[in-house]
Structure 1
Amino acid sequence: MAAQDVLRRNQDLLNAIAAGDYELYSTFCDPSLTCFEPEADGHLVEGLDFHKYYFTMPSSAPADAPKPKAHVLNTMASPHVRMIGDRCAVVSYVRLTQKMVSGAPVTVRAEETRVWEKKDDGRWVHVHMHRSLPAK
């Protein structure tokens, strides 16, 4: 049951990312979240400020222009959950992101591992992630 709860929580996190909803995203994450990801250029990043930057980047559209609804779908392909005791879960999967680029549908792949910790109040909180892009 815990593995399914963590997978559901992980998908909810990916949905918040796809929606560009930093406020919701931050509710899933520990404030000391650590990560290795391509945008960090090989460095271990700690905290949420690094991630918030990508959610709050200014658009090239005028400030008063309505923000178009993002049409993005994230799918966890071949997800695997490894429970480490009853307070830690490691989720590994291939993330398929479908989105529109210049009016055409595009699918991007990334290998992701996310670590979740169960807090004393019973909530699963995202504490670490590692994302790799496939070699070109």
Structure 2
Amino acid sequence: MSDNDVQQLLILSKQLLDAVDHKDWNTYTDLCDEELTAFEPEARGHLITGMDFHRFYFEMNPTGRPRQSTISSPMVSIMGDVALVTYVRIVQAIDDHGHDSSAAAEETRIWQKQDGDWQHVHFHRSIIS
């Protein structure tokens, strides 16, 4: 496991979260495998496959509210052409009335090296209550 790969995976993970926060579908799809799989609270316990489920949150539910994600306590494990990135994601947001809020989730992101580039292939997100 090289320090270069670890840093690159942390940078890619942050770029992915920034794409979600800014509803940047083009960057999100560039970073994700088109067969991306996910377990997330919005799916209510179901495994989601592909990008259509995620597209809704980018295109069908636009919002101009400021939002920012911070990666806290990251851990990176690289196993050949597959990498596991785990962290706590802290999301700060401002609502329509100017009130701020923060939420946290535990996230696991799996990246796979495809044609020399890391692609996001699976994630699991759990809300911290």
Q: Structure 2-normalised TM-score?
A: 0.92
Is 2:111 the counterpart of 1:108?
no
Tell me what 1:52 maps to.
55
Tell me what 1:75 maps to.
70
Cα distance, 1:58–1:111 mapped onto 2, change above 3 Å: closer
Amino acid at match of 2:109: R
Residues 1-136 of structure 1 aligned to structure 2 (within 5 Å): 1-59=4-62, 68=64, 70-85=65-80, 87-101=81-95, 102-120=97-115, 122-135=116-129
Deviation per CA, 1:38-93, whole angstroms, max 9, x where unpaired? Answer: 0000000100000001111245xxxxxxx74x4211100000001112x1110000
Q: Name stretches of at least 5 consecutive residues in structure 2 with no aligned partner.
A: none
Amino acid at match of 1:78: S
Cα distance, 1:100–1:79 mapped onto 2, change above 3 Å: same
Q: Distance in 2 between matches of 1:58 and 1:78?
A: 30
Q: How many residues align?
A: 125
RMSD: 1.3
Q: Distance in 1 between matches of 2:100 and 2:43?
A: 27
Percent identity over the alignment is 43
Q: Structure 1-normalised TM-score?
A: 0.87
Task: Please list every run of at least 4 consecutive aligned residues from structure 1 whose deviation after the TM superposition is greater than 3 angstroms.
Answer: none
Q: Name stretches of at least 5 consecutive residues in structure 1 with no aligned partner.
A: 60-66
| Structure of greater Rg | 1
Shift of 1:34: 0.2
